[in-house]
Structure 1
Amino acid sequence: MRSLLRGRRLRAAACTALLGATVLGLGAAPASAAPTSSADPGTRYYLALGDSLAAGYQSLPGGGSEVGHGYAQDLAATLGQRAVQDGHPFSFTDLGCPGETTGSMINGGCPYPHPYYDSQLDAAIAFLTTHRHDDVLVTLDIGANDIGGCATAESVDAACAAKGIATAGWDLGTILSRLNAAAGPHTRIVGMNLYDPFLAAWLTGVPGKVVAGVSVPVADALNATLDLADALHGVPTADVAKAFSTNSFLPLVPLDGQQVPLNVARIMDWTNMARGDIHANDAGYQVIADTFLAEL
């Protein structure tokens, strides 16, 4: 999920994040060096898994980018405060890797530097095995990068998207099955769907409005698949698409001196699409964290 909107064209990952907002199924210690279980059984653990959103990727206004400043960090701050208030130690581990696909999560090969030697899934299983008797929360977002190359600012390739969805759906089932098998009796796993940054195409003119309009039913179909995959594995889904008002072309609201659909305004206010970055900004990441909290 690392692409940018340049001129009238969204790069492939913009589609992935847009569709990823609806696709199925984002540092930390290496799998070979998973943290040992705390001597205090009251420690509460939070493990974040997935792609660039879990990693907390953001572009910077003057150029460049950073990781480690996203919803997982926001969620960890809240969970850590709650743990302290309840008299429990707290530990946070983030395995999210920008650019991760469902396939690379299973087999390894995430393109962004990461501290674990094998796959993210292997590292996660090592963590869960070590902490099988502990209180562990796992959050997961994955699948967006399986839809690369499926859109431009002028069109959405439905066949391409369908193929990517099928791959992500199959792989997500594998991921959730293996996580469930490694999870202990006090482990909770929560998935999420994603917002639709491709709605930003609305602001590029008439063709962009058509593409933005087409993107939402595609996103809805992907979200339905994601919700089903999670449900089949007993995993609740944080409905980020709903939190971002993905389906709300009405009411019209003010944005930079014009009236735009609410869903378009949400994307422009809660992501960095104003500078072509599909990733959430600080406000958007907090919305995602709050959506997860509603499932806990």
Structure 2
Amino acid sequence: MKRSIALSAVLAVAGFTAAPAAFAGADNSHASSGTYVALGDSLAAGYQPGLGDDKDGGYVGGVYANLRDKYRGAKLVNLACSGETSTGMIADGRCTYPDGQSQLEAAVDLIRSQKGKVRLITLNIGANDVQRCVKGGAVDMPCVQAGLTAVARNLPQITTALRAAGGAQTQIVVLNYYNPFLAAWAAGNPQLAQLSTMLQGQLNVSISYAAKAADAKVADVATAFRSNDWSLQPNGLPTNVAMICGYTWMCSKGDIHANDMGYALMADTVTPLVHGPKRPAAPSVS
């Protein structure tokens, strides 16, 4: 039996709601053990409907817990901005940072000030460039193409700036995206669900290219959410649709954000890509 959801709720463009930016992080006096810098939009900010941002939670909190196991005393600085686009991350964004900086400028200054102590940077950005183009069960294709063009232009600039600031020793992991608009299938609009799959693929290709440009790793959230798996579950939902209904708020509240299980799955996708401190070479035996 198909899970029933209101079409208007599913197809509403629930933008990554803006919230004031803050240098959120866990207090820790052992700064020399390294820093984890989280960047991006509301997914990085840990947003959930009715609760707002949780910059020490979400997938970032899960990744941070793992990092502290590897680097004792590591601290978290989360500069993510709910509602941000790739263009706004570079300049004139939605959130306020010191001295009128953009999120990227604030991140670069922070990373440089740490002088090689930033162990990890995670980044997810780009969804807000295109998700606003889905309205009323239809896709504004010129809007989508403009958004994809912006992502393809901006993301390499962002990732290469972060790499230049952090140097070769800083790990950078860029997350791609699950597809919340698969929920349209359960609302009786399979055409939109199929089209959104194609557009999600284009967005994630741009993310992959940008990561490669900066020698960064890609956390394949799309695959973790089984985005291209249309096999039917016993309840009649395709697997990819069932994942969106189970791991995000899209089917229950018409909200694109991950729930606790979804954020945990995202963290589990990032965690295997993060390596611990290099062990000293074993002494040679002559």
Question: TM-score normalised by the shorter chain: which range applies?
Answer: 0.7 to 0.9
Is the Cα–Cα contact under 8 Å of residues 97 and 103 in structure 2 kept in the other structure? Answer: no
Is the Cα–Cα contact under 8 Å of residues 108 and 120 in structure 1 kept in the other structure? Answer: no
Structure 1 residue aligned with 2:127, among 144, 154, 157? Answer: 144
Which residue does the alignment assign to 1:253? 233
**1: distance between equivalents of 2:269 and 2:30?**
32
**1: distance between equivalents of 2:70 and 2:9?**
45
SS of aligned partner of 1:132: coil
Greater CA drift, 91-100 or 5-14 = 5-14
**2: distance between equivalents of 1:94 and 1:135?**
13
- Greater RCO, CA 8 A, separation 6+: 1
SS of aligned partner of 1:149: helix
Q: How does 1:201-240 map to 2 (within 5 A)?
A: 201-205=184-188, 208-240=189-221
**2: distance between equivalents of 1:229 and 1:146?**
15
* Alignment deviations for residues 177-228 of structure 1 (CA, whole Å, 9 cap, x no partner): 21112113421111010100000111111xx111101211221122122212
Is the Cα–Cα contact under 8 Å of residues 42 and 53 in structure 2 kept in the other structure? Answer: no
1:72 aligns with 2:60: yes
Q: Judging changes above 3 Å, is the alpha-carbon distance between structure 1 residues 126 and 101 closer, same or farther for their aligned structure 2 residues?
A: same
**1: distance between equivalents of 2:90 and 2:229?**
35
Q: Give me the identity figure in percent.
A: 37
Q: How does 1:109-120 map to 2 (within 5 A)?
A: 109-110=93-94, 114=96, 116=98, 117-120=100-103
**1: distance between equivalents of 2:118 and 2:160?**
19
TM-score under structure 1 length normalisation: 0.80
Which residue does the alignment assign to 1:172? 155
**1: distance between equivalents of 2:89 and 2:53?**
21
TM-score under structure 2 length normalisation: 0.83
1:50 aligns with 2:40: yes
Structure 1: which 5+ runs fail to align? 18-26, 31-37
Q: Pairwise CA RMSD of aligned residues?
A: 2.4
Q: Which structure features the higher share of strand residues? A: 1
**1: distance between equivalents of 2:209 and 2:217?**
10
Structure 2 residue aligned with 1:282, among 255, 260, 263? Answer: 260
* Alignment deviations for residues 75-132 of structure 1 (CA, whole Å, 9 cap, x no partner): 112222333xxxx321111001101111111113315xx5544211111011110112
Is the Cα–Cα contact under 8 Å of residues 132 and 182 in structure 1 kept in the other structure? Answer: no
Structure 2: which 5+ runs fail to align? 1-5, 275-286
1:242 aligns with 2:211: no
Structure 1 residue aligned with 2:106, among 117, 123, 130? Answer: 123
**1: distance between equivalents of 2:65 and 2:31?**
20
Q: How many residues align?
A: 259
1:198 aligns with 2:186: no
- How far 1:276 sits from its partner (Å)? 1.2
SS of aligned partner of 2:43: helix
**2: distance between equivalents of 1:81 and 1:201?**
40
**2: distance between equivalents of 1:243 and 1:8?**
25
- How far 1:39 sits from its partner (Å)? 7.7
Is the Cα–Cα contact under 8 Å of residues 172 and 229 in structure 1 kept in the other structure? Answer: yes
**1: distance between equivalents of 2:31 and 2:12?**
48
**2: distance between equivalents of 1:9 and 1:184?**
42
Is the Cα–Cα contact under 8 Å of residues 169 and 225 in structure 1 kept in the other structure? Answer: yes
